[in-house]
Amino acid sequence: MACNDEVVMVLETKRNLTIWKHFDLCLMTDNHEMARCKGSVKFMKATVNSTLKKHTERHCPVTKAKNEKGEGSGTGSSNV
């Protein structure tokens, strides 16, 4: 991803809502779509849901903190 790309608009999506509630689907200046994490504001490719899910569970400080407190919709306890 080029660092100079900017968000043109946020698009609506009906993709996997369990994952996409943590992301905005953004149309970038070069006409490609990127997923923007609502917690960490990190941009990722919007094509693979498993990568987005992994980000929210393991890397995003906001959703990771919620999961550790038991506020997330995870599947059981996770020892990190």
Instruction: Dump pLDDT digits (tens) for 43-74.
Output: 999 999 999 999 998 889 888 777 677 654 44
- Give φ, ψ of 14 to 5 degrees: -115, 20
* Confidence (pTM): 0.74
- Give φ, ψ of 34 to 5 degrees: -130, 150
Q: What is the mean pLDDT of residues 34-45?
A: 94
Phi-psi region of 79 (alpha: psi -120 to 50; beta: other; left: phi over 0): beta
| Domain parsing of the chain, residue ranges | 7-69
Cα gap 18→5, rounded to integer Å? 27
Q: What is the mean pLDDT of residues 9-38?
A: 95
Rounded to whole angstroms, what are the CA distances from 15 to 46, 49, 75, 76?
10, 9, 20, 24
The pLDDT value given to residue 78:
41
The pLDDT value given to residue 72:
47
